[in-house]
């Protein structure tokens, strides 16, 4: 869904911070590059953030994960602007407003137990991602920062994630 704020066309986006035993779930869909991130996606027309949170969780992780995800709690929001406009759903936008939510994972789907032990292991049985890992604060941030080395435009996104994940660390939600 697009909104205009301060002359910029924003697309609302939810970031999905899933935590299990003090570790953050991170994903990668680039097996040949160390691009790690958290699940996320745009809020569609007529959808609430929470609706988008669960729809994106289902799309990016798979339907079997939904019963393991607890109630989403807002963490914070930050805008990100782009030099070149993006087109999504036939509409142009030049910024995203990321709103991050944290939810506790109450265990893992049974199929996840064998491959989620390491960020280097895969393929993961999901709809979209080749790799999924649980990582402590420092390790998750170091994996996400490598993306900025390969893709300088991602540095802003890493800063936003560092702030949001830092809030979870400060609140002792993750280790």
The domain spanning residue 143 has which CATH number? Answer: 3.90.79.10
Q: pLDDT digit string (tens) for 96-136?
A: 888 999 999 998 776 565 555 444 444 444 556 667 888 88
Domain count, the chain: 1
Residue 17 inside a domain? The answer is yes
For residues 41 and 47, the answer to whether their CB atoms sit within 8 Å is no
Q: How far apart are CA 139 and CA 22, in angstroms?
A: 12
Q: pLDDT (tens digit, 0 to 9) for every residue of the chain, 175 residues total?
A: 556 666 667 788 999 999 988 888 888 877 677 678 888 888 988 999 999 999 999 888 888 888 999 999 999 888 877 767 777 777 777 778 889 999 999 987 765 655 554 444 444 445 566 678 888 888 888 888 877 777 766 777 778 888 888 888 888 888 7
Q: Is residue 175 part of a domain?
A: no
Domain of 144, in residue numbers: 2-170
67 part of a folded domain: yes
- Can you tell me the distance from the alpha carbon of 7 to that of 24, in angstroms, rounded to the nearest whole number? 35
Position 137 in a domain: yes
**Tokens at 42, concatenated:** 């745009």
Reduced to 3 states, what is the DSSP secondary structure of residue 154?
helix
């Amino acid at each position: 869904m697009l909104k205009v704020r301060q002359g910029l066309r924003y697309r609302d986006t939810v970031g999905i911070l899933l935590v299990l035993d003090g570790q953050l779930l991170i994903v990668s869909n680039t097996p040949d590059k160390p691009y790690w991130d958290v699940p996320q996606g745009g809020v569609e027309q007529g959808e609430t953030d929470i609706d988008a949170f669960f729809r994106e969780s289902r799309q990016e992780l798979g339907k079997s994960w939904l019963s393991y995800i607890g109630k989403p709690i807002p963490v914070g929001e930050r805008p990100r602007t782009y030099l070149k406009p993006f087109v999504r759903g036939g509409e142009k936008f030049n910024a995203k407003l990321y709103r991050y939510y944290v939810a506790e994972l109450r265990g893992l789907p049974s199929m996840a137990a064998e491959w989620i032990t390491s960020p280097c292991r895969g393929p993961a049985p999901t709809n979209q991602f080749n790799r999924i890992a649980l990582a402590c604060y420092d390790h998750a941030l170091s994996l996400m920062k490598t993306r900025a080395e390969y893709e300088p435009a991602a540095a802003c996104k890493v800063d936003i994630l560092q702030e949001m994940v830092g809030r979870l660390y400060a609140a002792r939600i993750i280790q």
